Amino acid sequence: MKNTVKNTFASFQIRNFRLYFFGQGLSLSGTWVQTIALTWLILQLTHSGTQLGLVLAAQFLPMLIFGVWGGVITDRFNKRHILYITQTIQGVLALILGLLVLTHHIHVWMVYVLATSLGCTQVVDNPTRQTFVIEMVGSNYLKNAVTLNSMMVNVARIIGPSIAGILIATVGIGECFLINAASFVAVLIALVLMRANELHTIRPVSKQKGQIKDGLFYIWENPILRATLVMMFIIGTFAYEFPVILPLFATRTLHGNAATYSAMTAAMGIGAVVGGLYTAGRGVPVASTLVKVALAFGVAIILMAFMPDLFATLLTLVALGVLSVLFITFGNTTLQLTSQPHMRGRVMSLWSIAFLGTTPIGGPIIGFLADHTNPRVGLAIGGFSALIGAAIGALIIRGRVVSLPNSAQG
């Protein structure tokens, strides 16, 4: 039992990761407070699922268009220094949004502008945060750190919506954005307190022509990288549109309110924490494991589309949370350990595009379908997309296992 706990939290032996983990945990709790508040703000201003999908699309469109350049920037510069800049900008944007809401000057077009601005920072911030993990812990602890990171994201998914539900019901939406703005201070403090000499810093890549093309060719030539990213592109486009479909499912299918949506988000977070604890102490999976998880994820989403009431929905969301964190953790770890250090930023930028940048495509589609048919239809489409992604991934991998290149140890 003692060894199991030690293995599960192995990365906590590293001081820099402990600082990052708890600082990021506070910040992500604030981010979830803002996510719930933003969803409710858009529904209050527009009463439209399509508009909700379009706002999310505006936030993630920069990732879709410029994501590969974000990976190049990640490879070229010191990752810790990049995070100082991106985290500060995101905090300022949350502060502006909160002040606009509190002073009753907020309009839908302003939400679009601020969402797009946030998306521009995420183009660089997301692949940088992904690849900074291995610089804090090294390759030996990477899977454990990625899993704990995913678990922390989902603990925040429980805490954040709970706080948001209370705030929206008692004081209003504007305070939610101010709390998120303040939460970024925790990350900045953690970055300042880190010991630079204990980081496994990878030497930045010098500027050269054709770096984006080289990255794409490198991924295409590696079947494990290609299969992982193809699966996430398909599943990320249609299955990971929970910020669009869950509030619509809560209000229109279950006839609930903000508290219902918060409970649903928290239930998925609980499942993700369970999934994180399960996988944190285990070794690197073979590539076929990711296919099996994607298959199970698709089945669980389809089952949720048929749930008759809130209780059954919450139980299904717990299972969805488990499978979601397994898919993200296995996919992230596979990419980082399979890719060469000097290519890692570009590889993870495509992961960010597949996971987040596809929202401008899938978000409006799922929102439109939910508006004009039923939220259950939107969920079912997401589930079937995961089944298709799993089938294509299986065809590409064909029984191959993940191997850790010697150069990935750097």
- 48-96 pLDDT, tens digit each: 877 877 887 788 888 888 888 888 888 888 999 999 999 999 999 999 9
Enter the tokens of residue 189. Answer: 């403090």
Name the residue among 355, 359, 376 with its Cα closest to residue 54.
Answer: 359
Chain position carrying tokens 């929102």: 367
**The pLDDT value given to residue 405:** 45
- What is the CATH number assigned to the segment(s) 11-409? 1.20.1250.20
Whole-number Å distance between alpha carbons of 410 and 405: 10
**The pLDDT value given to residue 9:** 83
Domain residue extents for the chain: 11-409
List, for residues 259-292, the tens digit of each pLDDT value. 888 889 888 888 888 887 777 666 656 667 889 9
Contact 360, 60 (CB under 8 A): yes
**What single string gives the DSSP state of each residue in 82-145?**
HHHHHHHHHHHHHHHHHHHHHTT---HHHHHHHHHHHHHHHHHHHHHHHHHHHHHH-GGGHHHH
Whole-number Å distance between alpha carbons of 284 and 334: 8
Contact 304, 313 (CB under 8 A): yes
The residue ranges of the chain whose pLDDT is under 70 are 1-6, 154, 157, 280-287, 399-410
pTM score of the predicted model: 0.73
Whole-number Å distance between alpha carbons of 310 and 316: 10
Whole-number Å distance between alpha carbons of 194 and 201: 13
Burial class, 171, CB count within 10 angstroms (exposed 0-12 / middle 13-18 / buried 19+): exposed
Q: DSSP character for 202?
A: P
**The pLDDT value given to residue 404:** 42
